[in-house]
Structure 1
Amino acid sequence: MKHALNPSTPHAAAWKARAMAALRADSSLSVRLARYNAAMARARQIEDAGVAV
């Protein structure tokens, strides 16, 4: 039985990398945390959509 690859996995990984980069940015803590949370929320959304498909 063949299993299809989940194309959202690399996309979610890219958003997680973006979230980690947001933490290391040269911005205030509140801005870094907001950007991190937004990117991680997007990554979770992509992962959840991939599981539902």
Structure 2
Amino acid sequence: MTYLIALLVVALGVAGIVLGGADDSPGLQLLGVLLVVGAVVYGVRLVRRGRRAR
């Protein structure tokens, strides 16, 4: 379930980047990049924690 949330946040971030580029809005692009980076970091932490628990 948490992987799905991370994937949805990545999709939302990519949409923000694309829409910010179309509207020439650097703030929206920055927020999109921050969402994508944050979701990727969160996903990597989830995977690493899962491997340690085994």
TM over 0.5, shorter chain: yes
What TM-score bracket applies, with the shorter chain setting the length? 0.5 to 0.7
Partner of residue 35 from structure 1, selected from 31, 38, 54: 31
Tell me if the contact between 1:8 and 1:46 (Cα under 8 Å) persists in the aligned partners. Answer: no
Higher mean alpha-carbon deviation, 42-51 vs 18-27, is at 18-27
| In 1, Cα distance between equivalents of 2:34 and 2:28 | 10
- Number of residue pairs matched by the alignment: 47
Larger helix proportion, structure 1 or 2? 2
1:27 is displaced (CA, Å) by 5.1
**What is the alpha-carbon root mean square deviation over aligned residues?**
2.0
Tell me if the contact between 2:14 and 2:33 (Cα under 8 Å) persists in the aligned partners. Answer: no
Please, which runs of 5 or more residues in structure 2 have no aligned partner?
Answer: 50-54
1:8 is displaced (CA, Å) by 2.8
Please, which runs of 5 or more residues in structure 1 have no aligned partner?
Answer: 1-6
Residue 45 in structure 1 maps to residue 41 in structure 2: yes
- TM-score using structure 1 length: 0.64
> Which one scores higher on RCO, CA 8 angstroms, separation ≥ 6?
1
